[in-house]
Amino acid sequence: GQNIDQPTEMTATEGAIVQINCTYQTSGFNGLFWYQQHAGEAPTFLSYNVLDGLEEKGRFSSFLSRSKGYSYLLLKELQMKDSASYLCAGMDSNYQLIWGAGTKLIIKP
């Protein structure tokens, strides 16, 4: 079957660094995606990885290891506005997105 696993909740301190892990199992693989979703709002696209390695975009970076079925989202210099849920999604061979349940990130001052 297809499955995406990520922690339910994480807590971090403002100004610190946090890494949100995601493991995936999909039928075929066409990429791994991260979305941010603030409470009561729509998900918004953060990053896309299809090759192994690290993709950096400002304070956010995303890493992929296809051999391990593993990805992480790294958030640096945390700000209070980063408090949100982070959704990991894998794209299967039919270009359908398989979504994880999301990781709720709580930032404390």
Can you give the binding site for other proteins, defined by CB under 8 A? 4, 8, 30-31, 33, 40-45, 48, 87, 89, 91, 95-102
Q: Which is nearer to other proteins, 36 or 107 (CB)?
A: 36
CB 59 within 8 A of CB 77: yes
Task: Please give the structure tokens belonging to residue 105.
Answer: 């990130």
Backbone φ and ψ for 2, nearest 5 degrees, come out as -100, 140
| In the complex, least distance from residue 27 CB atom to other proteins, rounded to whole angstroms | 13
CB 64 within 8 A of CB 32: yes
Q: Which is nearer to other proteins, 49 or 78 (CB)?
A: 49
From the list 2, 4, 14, the residue with the least C-alpha distance to 106 is 14
Q: Is 80 helix (H, G, I), strand (E, B) or coil?
A: helix
| In the complex, least distance from residue 82 CB atom to other proteins, rounded to whole angstroms | 19
| In the complex, least distance from residue 13 CB atom to other proteins, rounded to whole angstroms | 26
User: What radius of gyration do the chain's Cα atoms show?
Assistant: 13
Q: Which is nearer to other proteins, 69 or 100 (CB)?
A: 100
Q: Which is nearer to other proteins, 14 or 41 (CB)?
A: 41
